[in-house]
Chains A and B, each alone.
Chain A
């Protein structure tokens, strides 16, 4: 399974867009990019996933580069409740195993 690299921490001002980067240079053609976040003492929350096209839902947008070696999760208007650890995960089908790294701690500042 491909390994991902994320910055350990990031700050964002409340109301501004939060852009969280992820590198996955060894991703294979049948692997999806998933994003989850985990707020303290809760289980990980699914945010969004994609294969090669950009994706958007009510929570966030996912931008995947053309070579698929990196992606960016965008939270358009960050709030204090978006403070969490964000995990970028690459996963293929079959067992659907998710391999979590250490993620990015996003701190939204008032």
Chain B
């Protein structure tokens, strides 16, 4: 079975641009979460969506937004990119929004020049 898939795998942008990252969850999973991992640190929670509704938001500015589609795939959008947004962006999916384990994709490496 396919795991969590993310696209693109790598992306280079310049300051001020906008970016959209995509995530396809494991088949049957209805919950998707997004995390940001800066080099040398653990992943940091950005958003969680369940059944197309936002269920949680981390401490990130309004430049970060996300949505979940009827097929449970998800997009993360970041506007007005800053150098500090350079990071690995991880998507994770799980069956429900309860205590089911989350399963992660290998992320999108975003570099801001």
Interface residues of chain A, those whose CB is within 8 Å of chain B, are 32, 34, 36, 41-46, 49, 87, 91-103
Interface residues of chain B, those whose CB is within 8 Å of chain A, are 4, 31, 33, 35, 41-45, 48, 55-56, 58, 90, 92, 94, 97-107
Q: Is the CB of B99 within 8 A of A93?
A: yes
| Cα distance A34–B43 in the bound complex, in angstroms | 14
Indicate which residue in A36, A42, A98, A101 contacts B106 across the interface (CB closer than 8 Å).
A42
Given contacts A93-B97, A94-B55, contact A102 B48 (CB under 8 A): no
Indicate which residue in A46, A101, A102 contacts B101 across the interface (CB closer than 8 Å).
A46
Listed residue (B41, B101, B103) with the most chain A CB atoms within 10 angstroms of its CB = B101
Nearest Cβ in chain B — how far from A29, in angstroms? 13
Listed residue (B4, B48, B99) with the most chain A CB atoms within 10 angstroms of its CB = B99
**Across the A-B interface, how many residue pairs have beta carbons closer than 8 Å?**
68
| Cα distance A44–B102 in the bound complex, in angstroms | 10
Residue in chain B with minimal CB distance to A94:
B97
**Interface on chain A toward B: helix, strand, loop, or mixed SS?**
loop
Q: Is the CB of A98 within 8 A of B102?
A: yes
Q: Is the CB of A97 within 8 A of B48?
A: yes
Nearest Cβ in chain B — how far from A101, in angstroms? 6
Nearest Cβ in chain A — how far from B108, in angstroms? 10
| Cα distance A42–B97 in the bound complex, in angstroms | 24
Residue in chain B with minimal CB distance to A101:
B42
Q: Is the CB of B44 within 8 A of A100?
A: yes
A sample of 29 inter-chain contacts (CB < 8 A) reads: A32-B99, A36-B104, A43-B105, A44-B43, A44-B92, A44-B104, A46-B102, A46-B103, A91-B99, A93-B97, A93-B99, A94-B55, A94-B98, A96-B31, A96-B33, A96-B48, A96-B55, A96-B56, A96-B94, A96-B97, A96-B98, A96-B100, A96-B102, A97-B58, A98-B102, A100-B42, A102-B41, A102-B42, A103-B42
